[in-house]
Structure 1
């Protein structure tokens, strides 16, 4: 494309931008995408390559800053802080802190307000939150693992990675264990993982409000709720963060004690902190590779949030089959809350997540067609699909036999 054509493309995109309402949150994703399109049209190709090469130093620098407590200090300050002030408050080396903050500023994580002087941004304030800091540390380990990807693919004739027990993770760590088994004795990793899982997956409103969970469960009163079975079973629900969000969105009196079930592995259930414990929940240690206990069969809704993207199809089918066996035809639903990859135009975050899942678990982020194919293998059909602009979605499914009743 000629320079003139690039300028014309950028100019046309800018004109489109001027027609969008920046005060309307619904248009923000489109505005950001068009801004990126303008940059893409005007940026020198060499600059794109250099920026990509430079990005390999960004993440480890952010981890180092997080470990020093820099983001917390900036967030707590009501004004910019100098390198000297940050060194004094953290015990770190001033010259090192300034060098690390330069790359954070160039990446938009902090703001550089003057010589060796920096201020917090919305992004750095998020990294000051323990759950996001945990994700930063986890991703650092993933980056180390991903560095082995080219060598591994060269040895496997560049085949797609689809195995939980025979993939890049096993090659890198020289083990025959899967990721979860290998990490089980790593307390720091497990703590970070469980903490990071408390981070909401979608922007804006909570997912129960975004996807009208109340309307789906009660169908405007058209569905008679069975009081003798659970209302919601949150499978692999972690610390209960999502079941709590759902509970807050349900009408008062719409459930009784014993109808909201939180399931996860025993060590997760046992580690739920007191400030996250909810007396309305029934806490059940459960391995989703085994059958649902009899007491928790026939629920109105089973939820799997950010679970199946950790598993390749073979293992995902095992998980889904046990849930399918627990569904009551014509009554029970399965909600899969996960990313839905668009056929074109996946953003950086989603593409990064897909490669991360491949590297760690031999798994993947799925398109709607892939979700439908996976569900079909266990006799389930998609009832509805909703997705946010950042590709987080709710896939509602039921037994195929339900449509015959």
Structure 2
């Protein structure tokens, strides 16, 4: 019980390490506490106390007072190709904390905790605050450590055009275009994600293989052979998820096409802790949910789609491949 109760302290220590740049300070090799404190311009004794806790949870190794990063700790470096630094900072942001502070009230009343805390939904909140929108987009992209797995899990050999719907900073589309050189891509999202996506996808834009467009996937999506919904549907209730899927169905080639859905899919029984933690997070932040396979099938059917394939990915993620139901339109 005590380990569970001090869990938030661990998260705060990790966020502090990200904010202070500890992983970047250790990126070139081991440092003593004094050396690292001088480089980061912080106080040595408090830093060493923080480092000892980071060693206890596996982010650094402590060799007689010389600290070096572990493979997990390297993920807090801003230069790491799969960096989770921005995600650590996002999860420690004030609006995440304040929404979670309303969890018990949300269970009592049924009111969404984020709306209770701020008087508006999280997407409206972020859209009105450009700095928060940039951190949100960067933090969500940092959680896409499965991008390479997605790009390799589906056979893109017969695909001409891919649309990454709500594609954030473009990490998933970048992985697809890098692995499959014949594919043309388009990323559609709200304005807050446009510049990070353009920057990441610039080489493909320069080649004429990619475009980044502003759009609202609740209204329409670009035409494509394959539409990717990467951690999108869990943000929305069933009616909104059906609308998004129906828009993808309407934008497919006649009688063909695929929707690739990357989500954590809950089992009908059992308790996968990471997926269930994100399910509660969706309840707190967005009003959405992680769904079981059978619940996804019901939403897909209402949109004129059905699952024709499924692949496992890292971090309890799954890739659902959906195809149009013959003769059915949503």
Specify whether residues 102 and 347 from structure 1 end up closer, same or farther in structure 2 by C-alpha distance, changes over 3 A only.
farther
Specify whether residues 332 and 276 from structure 1 end up closer, same or farther in structure 2 by C-alpha distance, changes over 3 A only.
closer
Show the counterpart of 1:213.
155
Give the aligned length: 320
Unaligned runs of 5+ in 1: 1-48, 160-165, 219-224
TM-score if structure 1 supplies the norm length?
0.72
Q: Does 1:236 align with 2:186?
A: no
Contact 1:214 1:249 in 2 (8 A): no
Matches within 5 A, 1:200-279: 201-202=144-145, 205-209=148-152, 211-215=153-157, 218=158, 231-250=161-180, 252=181, 254-255=182-183, 259-274=184-199, 276-277=201-202, 278-279=204-205
Q: Does 1:124 align with 2:73?
A: yes
DSSP-derived class of the 2:218 partner? coil
Q: Deviations over 1:296-329 (max 9, x none)?
A: 43x3211111111121223222222222222345
CA distance in 1, matches of 2:123, 2:177: 29
Show the counterpart of 2:61.
111
Show the counterpart of 2:138.
195
Please tell me whether Structure 1 or Structure 2 has the larger radius of gyration of its CA atoms: 1
CA distance in 2, matches of 1:349, 1:205: 20
CA distance in 1, matches of 2:126, 2:147: 32
Contact 1:330 1:403 in 2 (8 A): no
Q: Does 1:335 align with 2:260?
A: yes
Matches within 5 A, 1:2-401: 49-76=1-28, 78-79=29-30, 81-114=31-64, 116-129=65-78, 131-141=83-93, 142-154=96-108, 156=109, 159=110, 167-173=112-118, 175=119, 177-199=120-142, 201-202=144-145, 205-209=148-152, 211-215=153-157, 218=158, 231-250=161-180, 252=181, 254-255=182-183, 259-274=184-199, 276-277=201-202, 278-279=204-205, 280-292=209-221, 296-297=222-223, 299-388=224-313, 390-401=315-326
CA distance in 2, matches of 1:281, 1:205: 18
Contact 2:98 2:117 in 1 (8 A): no
CA distance in 1, matches of 2:178, 2:15: 34
TM-score if structure 2 supplies the norm length?
0.87
Specify whether residues 68 and 244 from structure 1 end up closer, same or farther in structure 2 by C-alpha distance, changes over 3 A only.
closer
Deviation at 1:53, TM superposition (A): 1.6
Contact 1:74 1:120 in 2 (8 A): yes
Q: Deviations over 1:200-228 (max 9, x none)?
A: 6355953221x13325xx2xxxxxx7xxx
Contact 2:150 2:313 in 1 (8 A): no
CA distance in 2, matches of 1:389, 1:267: 27
Unaligned runs of 5+ in 2: none
Specify whether residues 151 and 103 from structure 1 end up closer, same or farther in structure 2 by C-alpha distance, changes over 3 A only.
farther
Specify whether residues 345 and 83 from structure 1 end up closer, same or farther in structure 2 by C-alpha distance, changes over 3 A only.
farther
Deviation at 1:125, TM superposition (A): 0.9
Which deviates further from its counterpart, 363-372 or 98-107?
Answer: 98-107
Specify whether residues 376 and 212 from structure 1 end up closer, same or farther in structure 2 by C-alpha distance, changes over 3 A only.
closer
Contact 2:148 2:172 in 1 (8 A): no
Contact 1:213 1:246 in 2 (8 A): no
DSSP-derived class of the 1:398 partner? strand
